Amino acid sequence: MELLHWDVIVSYLPLYRDAMFLTLRIGWAGIFAAVGLGFMCALIRHFRVPILQNIVGIYIELFRNTPLLVQLFFLYFGLPKIGLEIPAEPCGVLGLALLGGAYMAETFRSGLEAIEPIQMESALSLGMTRQQAVLHVILPQAVSISVPAFVANVIFLLKETSVFSAISLMDLMFTAKDLIGLYYKTLECLTLLVVFYLIILLPVSALGSFLERRLRYAGFGD
């Protein structure tokens, strides 16, 4: 007895391919926005910007301690009740950016706080301005230290895209559930789901390992 129906798998491939491209488009858009947001929040908290550091702290605790699914429901179903309607795809990007920004902020902040204060003092004693010291001395080291946690966050956020089906986005999870409901080819659908997520995530993991090794050999993060 044939375990998998390969003709079924082949016929489903175009649907999964399209779903993967949607997942990647929304996922990477959200991740890039999360990196920018997280980096800005990390700087605000690290340098203790008055008032803003309290606002950023509340944001981080709120979004790190609530599931992405709840956040998406609030954005997609809750905001229209007050007249603010966001289409599904931008809603997915926004939700992932807000969740990811909270995690990225703590990742970058931990990298910044790992740098000894003597580094800044030494840079200032050599005649650098504070801005030059941050840009050329502190940030390169902090970013290199943050690489492992940064890559883990990227993989985490890409996996979190699996909940986008809850707001009717035709991502990989939505496609798998839809095909299972229509044709009951559960094993084939789930096999394709696993394979396509591996296609998305394994290159990211490999690239992260490569960057970590290169930075270690270059002397950063020691």
Please report the DSSP string for 46-88 in residue order.
HTT-TTHHHHHHHHHHHHHSS-HHHHHHIIIIIGGGGT----H
In the block, tokens 């390169």 appear at: 140
Whether 118 shows a pLDDT value over 90: the answer reads no
List the structure tokens of 83: 């007249």
Burial of 120 (0-12, 13-18, 19+ CB in 10 A): middle
DSSP code, position 76: I
Q: What domains can you pick out in the chain, each with its CATH number?
A: 6-217 (1.10.3720.10)
Which candidate, 189, 198, 217, places its Cα nearest to that of 159?
Answer: 198
In the block, tokens 């700087």 appear at: 43
Q: For residue 152, which amino acid is it?
A: A
* Res 6: pLDDT: 85
Residues 6+ apart with CB under 8 A from 43: 49, 108, 112
* Res 2: pLDDT: 57
Q: Whole-model pTM above 0.85?
A: yes
* Res 103: pLDDT: 95
Under 8 Å between Cβ of 215 and 144: yes
- Alpha carbons 44 and 154: distance in angstroms, whole number: 22
In the structure, what pLDDT confidence band is assigned to residue 132 with cuts at 50, 70 and 90?
confident
Share of the chain above pLDDT 90, in %: 57
Share of the chain above pLDDT 70, in %: 96
- Alpha carbons 172 and 22: distance in angstroms, whole number: 8
- Alpha carbons 123 and 211: distance in angstroms, whole number: 26
- Rounded to an integer, the average pLDDT of 106-112 is 89
